[in-house]
Amino acid sequence: MAILAVGTLEPSLEKELAGRYAPLRLPLDAERAESVTVIVCGGRPGVDAALMDALPNLAAIVNYGAGVDAIDVAAARQRGIGVSNTPDVLTDTVADTALGLILDTLRGFAAADRYVRAGRWAAEGPFPYTRDVSGSRVGILGLGRIGSAIATRLLGFGCAIAYHNRHPVPDSPYRYAASAVELAASVDVLVVATAGGPDSAHLVDRDVLAALGPQGYLVNIARGSVVDQDALIDMLTAGDLAGAGLDVYADEPNVPVALRELDTVVLLPHMGSATARTRAAMAALAMRNLEEFLATGRLVTPVT
């Protein structure tokens, strides 16, 4: 029996794995590939069907992170391979990040900071007016754990909340929109909080962005794949959107120059869950999943 570590893991998790299990790393020879029963995965390059096929005795994939878009979950399910993630422990931290992006994107705090540092306040006068967050209409695309936590925070700002999921959430107090386009057309700010993966690829396409319109703002703390980034750049550059707050991108860590040059865009380096406390909790939950699987064959927080 052997454990394979794939991708980038939190240092404390990497250290504990090394001390207790001496995990393997890619590439593997045939003998070692046959010995692997569990993968501990941290983001890219992830685990695709080809890697699963190369590990004939693989039984579980323990993911360090809530999102499993770097794992071919359908292929794992087909092969009877369990997959776990780290939900809940990062919900509040990511929701806080979303709120910060909303505030910064509408109020222009980061741009105003650059304005002061460049000496422009004294040279050019007051910073241009920005937009209020309080009282805004906010649409949340994906009212799951994180989306719900974002909505709760926004209630404190007197925002009117609407959402779109595949199906309405039972007993939700928020207005349901039947499509992403319908949601975008009815709000000032569209927050993307849905899961990544093939099912949500380019869910926010040019039609959704056009519905959001030149007075609308996009905030994405989900996955870069959910948004048509080329369409987003086109519309921001043309003034067909008021602005965007982004923590995720189509090809991380490569952020297009066109986005970096726009002062109407707030850019974060995929740091939504990046606090010491949250990352430690994620690491601890990943270890719980690994230990439980090795002891009983069950995962604590299974995805499939």
How many whole angstroms separate alpha carbon 114 and alpha carbon 261? 13
Contact in structure between 196 and 222 (CB atoms under 8 Å): yes
d(CA 118, CA 116): 5
Rounded to whole angstroms, the Cα distance separating 144 from 28 reads 38
Catalytic-role residue among 223, 261, 277, 288: 223
Q: Are 226 and 196 in contact (CB under 8 A)?
A: yes
CA distance 61 to 263: 41
| Residue found by looking up tokens 């776990």 in the block | 84
Using CA atoms, how far apart are residues 31 and 290, in angstroms rounded to an integer? 22
Report CA 188 to chain centroid distance, whole Å.
21
Is residue 223 annotated as a catalytic residue, yes or no? yes
Measured CA to CA in angstroms, residue 58 lies from 81, 135, 219 at distances of 7, 51, 38
CB-CB contact of 206 with 155 (8 Å): no
CA distance 219 to 193: 9
**CA distance linking residue 299 with residue 304, whole number of Å:** 9
- Residue found by looking up tokens 């799951």 in the block: 144
Catalytic residue at 202?
Answer: no
Exactly one of 270, 277, 288, 298 is catalytic; which is it?
A: 270
Active site residue 31: no
What whole-number distance in Å separates Cα of residue 212 and Cα of residue 201?
18
Q: What span, in angstroms and rounded, lies between the C-alpha atoms of 121 and 125?
A: 5
Cβ-Cβ contacts under 8 Å for 263 (sequence gap 6 or more):
111, 114
User: Of 120, 252, 277, 298, which is the active-site residue?
Assistant: 252
Catalytic residues: 223, 252, 270
